[in-house]
Amino acid sequence: MKLLTKTTIYYLLSTLGIFILGGLVFYFILAGIINHEVDEKLAFQKDRVIERLSTIPRVPGDTTLSLNPQVRVSRLNHLPTAEMIIRDTLVFDSLENEFMPHRQLFYVTKLHDQPYQIRVSEPMVESESLIQGIVYSEILLFLTLFVVLLFLNYKIDNKLWSPFYKTVNKLKTYDVTRHQSLKMEKVPIKEFDELNRILSGMTGKIARDYQNLKQFTENASHEIQTPLAIIQSKMELLLQSENLTQEQLRQVQSAYQSANRLSKLNQALILLAKIENQEFVGTEPVHLRRLLEKQLASHQELLDLRGLRVQTIFSADPVIEIAPELADLLIRNLLGNAIKHNQDGGVIIINLSEYNFHIVNTGAPIKEEPSRIFERFYTQDAGKDSLGLGLAIVRKICEVSNLQIDYNYENDLHVFTLSF
């Protein structure tokens, strides 16, 4: 929901509450004013009745004055304690054929030494009609306000917020790999202009930082890998020397293995950095079945060496959009992991369907939480020659390629599921 729409809803809800409360207050105030006016009219009529009766020598025992059918005078046997009472009541109206609300005044006085009760009635505006009038008026006002707010919301959304939407669209299409900062237009609204200025500076810094990181990655790849290659070649020459003792040969071999491991670690970390920086651009349709068959053929010698049996179930030939280099790296790491962490004479099951790719292998269960298997430098067995980065690279490729990788250990089998 848009911010302006949510704000408008809050305004409408607040206005509705104010209208309801204001309508109740208005009703009671209006009812009080009407009652006060009617009471004054009843009192005036009562005074006129008394004035008129005082001029009559003899008042009948029970009569209705012909001057006003709403006035009735009755003789009492005794004088009540209350002189005047005003109350609301219902009186049948023969013309309307229904009971109509009236306000009546009862007044007790002495006329010619006899107690008399004077009753004066006045028809009232029906309270239901009054409530309906107020409710209808408020509904009409609220609907008018609602339509006006919707119209203003549409106009404001199209005009005042257009610079903000332009900025959002530019951010959606911003690509840090182009090494450019966002060029923002100057807008008359201070807040949006300040936002554009900050975003322009921030994206410029991001582009510079990205470029520096990329240069560092490239320099590290070259400057570290070259000396390591020299060290490895020197170690190989030493290993072929006939003048080394057995102890010296063992130490040189250990150093050679460490240099080789360091070289692989450097390459893996640089590869991770390149994947995170999304330097593998340009996706293509990749046929997973062809890629799997190619990878299986390239690993056949290693599979035979370990005595591993491979079962393939290709029920579909899915095609995914991904950078070809990343797709090759993804399948190679998953297959390499299934070989490396398998047991001699074990089984690898590959199941490829329309939406999933399952690779299953035998092997000992992992010793820690299964969720840690994709962490960097996590290894199941410290004794194996593993850097602990293969599955971390797999997860990173899935993140940048909109794929989903999951792991389960069930029925003594390691199950990796790639969803696309």
pLDDT tens for residues 216-250?
Answer: 777 776 677 778 778 878 787 777 877 777 888 88
pLDDT at 116 (0 to 100)? 79
Number of domains observed in the structure of the chain? 3
CA-CA distance, 412 to 362, in Å (whole number)? 7
**Structural domain boundaries enclosing 344:** 284-419
Within-domain flag for 390 = yes
Does 289 or 158 have the greater pLDDT score?
289
* Whether residue 396 sits in one domain with residue 314: yes
**pLDDT band at residue 351, thresholds of 50, 70 and 90?**
very high
Calculate the average pLDDT of the chain.
80
The 10s digit of each residue's pLDDT in 277-286 is 777 777 889 9
Whether 409 is covered by a domain: the verdict is yes
- Residue 190 pLDDT greater than 70, yes or no: yes
Specify the pLDDT at position 349: 93
Spatial CB neighbours of 179, under 8 Å, sequence gap ≥ 6: 207, 210, 211
- Report pLDDT for 66: 47
Res 154 pLDDT > 80: no
Q: Is residue 152 part of a domain?
A: no
Query: Does residue 348 share a domain with residue 248?
Result: no
Within a domain: 171: no
Q: What is the CATH number of the domain that holds 386?
A: 3.30.565.10
Q: Which of 131, 146, 161 is the last residue of a domain?
A: 146
Same domain as 98, residue 21 = yes
pTM: 0.52
23 plus 114 within the same structural domain? yes
CA distance 399 to 317: 22
Residue 187 is assigned to a structural domain of this protein: no
**Residue 272 and residue 313 in one domain:** no
- The pLDDT assigned to 74 comes to 78
**pLDDT exceeds cutoff 80 at 350:** yes
**65 versus 185: which is more confidently predicted?**
185
Mean pLDDT of 287-307: 90
Residue 343 lies in a domain: yes
pLDDT exceeds cutoff 70 at 178: no
Task: Work out the pLDDT band at 78, boundaries 50, 70, 90.
Answer: confident
- Residue 49 maps to a domain: yes
Last residue of a domain, one of 214, 243, 276: 276
Choose from 45-49, 62-66, 317-321, 365-369 the range with maximum mean pLDDT: 317-321
Q: What mean pLDDT comes out for the span 364-386?
A: 69
pLDDT (0 to 100) of residue 357:
92
Query: What whole-number percentage of the chain has pLDDT above 70?
Result: 87
Mean pLDDT of 328-356: 90
Vertex 332 angle, CA 327 and 335, to 5°:
125
% residues pLDDT > 90 (the chain): 10
If pLDDT is split at 50, 70 and 90, which confidence band does 347 have?
A: very high
pLDDT for 387 equals 66
pLDDT recorded at residue 82? 62
Q: Which has more pLDDT, 7 or 37?
A: 37
Looking at per-residue pLDDT, the higher value among 198 and 70 belongs to 198
Residues 266 and 296 placed together within one structural domain of the fold: no
Are residues 296 and 406 part of one domain?
A: yes
**Residue 4 pLDDT exceeds 60:** yes
pLDDT band at 127 (very low <50, low <70, confident <90, very high): low
Note whether 118 and 134 are same-domain residues.
yes
Q: How far apart are CA 371 and CA 413, in angstroms?
A: 16
* Winning range, highest mean pLDDT, from 79-83, 86-90, 323-327, 382-386: 323-327
Could you tell me if 101 and 224 lie in one domain? no
Q: What is the Cα–Cα distance from 335 to 415, expressed in whole angstroms?
A: 12
Same domain, residue pair 312 and 237: no
Say whether both 13 and 58 belong to one domain: yes
User: Which domain-ending residue is among 224, 248, 276?
Assistant: 276
In a domain, 172, yes or no: no
Same domain, 302 and 413: yes
